[in-house]
Amino acid sequence: MKGRNLLMIPGPIEFTPEVMASMAQPTTSHVAPNFIECFGESLEMMRDVFLAPSAQPFILAGSGTLGMDAAMANVLQPGDGVLTVNSGYFSDRMGDIARRYGGRVTNLSADPGDIPDASEVARALEAGDFAIVTITHVDTSTGVLADVEGIAGVARDAGCLVILDSVCGTAGAECRTEDWGVDIHLTASQKAIGVPPGLALLTVSPAAMEVFESRETPVPSYYADFAEWLPIMRAYEERRPGYFGTPAVNLVAALNTSLKQILAEGMDARFARHERLAGAFRSGIRALGLDIVPASDELAAPTLTAIRYPDGVGPDLVPEIGAGGILTAGGLHPEIKQTYFRVGHMGAVNAADILATLGAIERALAAKGYEFECGSGLAAAQRALCD
């Protein structure tokens, strides 16, 4: 890390040397045999990482927002009722996309730092006519973790498709896609998946594919239309060439490397590592007398932490932390943007990264005149890591 900063924002994250080496390989043809094998193998591994063995995976060149757009464009028809379980900025975005495609959106929201629970979702579903429920697994603006299993359960009981925006969750926060009844699970490459920005990744359940295939109106997005991409995904899995739009060849090579690393660690072990490191980080933050945006530790995500500034300290703390060699992010939720900052801890993150980040936060707080016992945050995190 000498001579460069440690990237501890909520994405992009730090990537492993092996992933970066894959990115640096000479670019090959998108229909070359070695790339066809790489792409097909990556699609197969996605089912194991997403824990969605029966799903159809898609790898698209684009951001996480493309994944959100593709989900809505393909299964939402004009007039469909959409219940958006809202936990922040990106939940709002999902609702905006649904409206763009003609959905009748009901926004079920809570105060910043909180999220409606499964019982509230069940009551809302009983009171309206809905075809789709959207959940933001981890809202990057607040660090709030949704009860995906509980919410998806009541949504499926009501006969709704479940769309999960897990851009800041997949491969870091536990999600058992098929067992929990998630129909479309979408993410982006640059967060816990551990690949530089540029890929939108989705798995689509048989039920969601049936809704897509039986829709009465054309998919209104040309680029995101599953009808264009499905033959390509199937061709690559069958190790045949296919073409609709040129894939991001080097990013897919990096994805292949990262998916192998994720599966080598094991999904249960990976979820447990993220929980352990996040818990240690929050122990350190609490020992410094700081609070977090999520209303309770149960709602705190394992992939990032949103931290409230203490009295007398404001947004200029973030560049001060950066001067100490650690890059963090300011607030994003428009209602509370100036009151907190965010630290990402996902993907290849380790205990040393957590301790280095807490050390930089302590030094920055001291520079801003905040009174605390120097080293107390580091000590608390170290104790948690040693337990």
User: pLDDT tens-digit profile of 27-82?
Assistant: 999 999 999 999 999 999 999 999 999 999 999 999 999 999 999 999 999 999 99
Positive or negative, the Cα torsion across 381, 382, 385, 387? negative
* 150 within some domain: yes
The tally of domains found in the chain comes to 2
Please indicate, yes or no, whether residues 205 and 116 belong to a single structural domain of this protein. Answer: yes
Q: What is the pLDDT of residues 147-193, one digit of tens each?
A: 999 999 999 999 999 999 999 999 999 999 999 999 999 999 999 99
pLDDT reported for residue 3: 73
Please indicate, yes or no, whether residues 188 and 110 belong to a single structural domain of this protein. Answer: yes
* Torsion, Cα of 318, 324, 328, 331 (10° steps): -10
Please indicate, yes or no, whether residues 47 and 141 belong to a single structural domain of this protein. Answer: yes
Confidence band of 319 (pLDDT split at 50, 70, 90): very high
Please indicate, yes or no, whether residues 287 and 344 belong to a single structural domain of this protein. Answer: yes
Q: What mean pLDDT is predicted for residues 141-147?
A: 97
Please indicate, yes or no, whether residues 76 and 166 belong to a single structural domain of this protein. Answer: yes
Tell me if 380 sits within 8 A of 292, measured CB to CB.
no
Please indicate, yes or no, whether residues 247 and 274 belong to a single structural domain of this protein. Answer: no
Question: Residue 195 belongs to a domain with what CATH number?
Answer: 3.40.640.10
* 319 within some domain: yes
Query: Pairing state of beta strands 6-7 and 326-327?
Result: parallel
Q: Which two tokens stand for residue 75?
A: 């299964």
Nearest to 303 by CA among 314, 316, 311, 294: 294
pLDDT reported for residue 10: 97
Q: What is the pLDDT of residues 332-370, one digit of tens each?
A: 999 999 999 999 999 999 999 999 999 999 999 999 999
Q: Which two tokens stand for residue 61?
A: 């060149």
Angle 323-327-329 (CA atoms, 0-180°, nearest 5)? 120
Tell me if 142 sits within 8 A of 107, measured CB to CB.
no
pLDDT reported for residue 1: 44
Please enumerate in sequence order all residues whose Cβ is within 8 A of that of 194, keeping only pairs 6 or more positions apart, or say none: 13, 15, 16, 19, 171, 258, 261, 262, 347, 348
Check pLDDT > 70 for residue 378.
yes
pLDDT reported for residue 4: 82
Helix (H, G, I), strand (E, B) or coil at 199: strand
What share of the chain has pLDDT > 90, as a percent?
99
Q: Which of 213, 245, 265 is the last residue of a domain?
A: 265
Tell me if 6 sits within 8 A of 325, measured CB to CB.
yes
**Alpha helices of the chain — where are they, by DSSP H?**
17-23, 33-50, 64-75, 89-100, 118-127, 148-157, 177-180, 206-213, 226-237, 249-265, 267-287, 317-323, 351-367, 376-386
pLDDT reported for residue 344: 98
Each as own residue / partner, the long-range contacts of residues 46-49 (CB below 8 Å, 24 or more positions apart, any chain) are 46/201, 46/203, 46/259, 47/203, 48/263, 48/267, 49/170, 49/171, 49/193, 49/259, 49/262, 49/263, 49/267
* 375 within some domain: yes
Question: Residue 337 belongs to a domain with what CATH number?
Answer: 3.90.1150.10
* 245 within some domain: yes
Angle 144-149-152 (CA atoms, 0-180°, nearest 5)? 100
Cis amide leading into 12 (omega within 30): yes
Please indicate, yes or no, whether residues 373 and 352 belong to a single structural domain of this protein. Answer: yes
Q: Which domain holds residue 356?
A: 6-11+267-386
CA distance to 69, 75, 167, per residue, from 220 (Å): 11, 11, 23
Please indicate, yes or no, whether residues 58 and 183 belong to a single structural domain of this protein. Answer: yes
Please indicate, yes or no, whether residues 152 and 275 belong to a single structural domain of this protein. Answer: no
Work out the mean pLDDT of the chain and round it to a whole number: 97
Q: What is the pLDDT of residues 228-249, one digit of tens each?
A: 999 999 999 999 999 999 999 9
Q: Which of 230, 265, 300 is the last residue of a domain?
A: 265
* Separation between Cα atoms, residue 220 and residue 162, nearest integer Å: 20
Q: What is the pLDDT of residues 293-315, one digit of tens each?
A: 999 999 999 999 999 999 999 99
Residue 41, number of CB atoms within 10 A of its CB = 18
* 101 within some domain: yes
* 37 within some domain: yes
- Identify the bridge partners of residue 203 per DSSP, sorted by sequence position: 57, 185
Query: Pairing state of beta strands 132-136 and 161-165?
Result: parallel
Please indicate, yes or no, whether residues 143 and 39 belong to a single structural domain of this protein. Answer: yes
Please indicate, yes or no, whether residues 238 and 295 belong to a single structural domain of this protein. Answer: no
* Torsion, Cα of 133, 88, 302, 60 (10° steps): 60
What DSSP state is assigned to residue 337? Answer: G
Helix (H, G, I), strand (E, B) or coil at 75: helix
* 1 within some domain: no
Q: Which two tokens stand for residue 127?
A: 């009171």
Tell me if 113 sits within 8 A of 298, measured CB to CB.
no
Nearest to 354 by CA among 283, 264, 292: 283
Please indicate, yes or no, whether residues 160 and 287 belong to a single structural domain of this protein. Answer: no
* 81 within some domain: yes
Q: Which of 250, 265, 280 is the last residue of a domain?
A: 265
Q: In a 10 Å sphere around its CB, with 0-12 CB exposed, 13-18 middle and 19+ buried, how is residue 291 labelled?
A: middle
Nearest to 123 by CA among 137, 111, 106: 106
* Separation between Cα atoms, residue 30 and residue 169, nearest integer Å: 29
* Separation between Cα atoms, residue 84 and residue 221, nearest integer Å: 21
pLDDT reported for residue 2: 61
Q: What mean pLDDT is predicted for residues 117-141?
A: 97
pTM of the model: 0.97
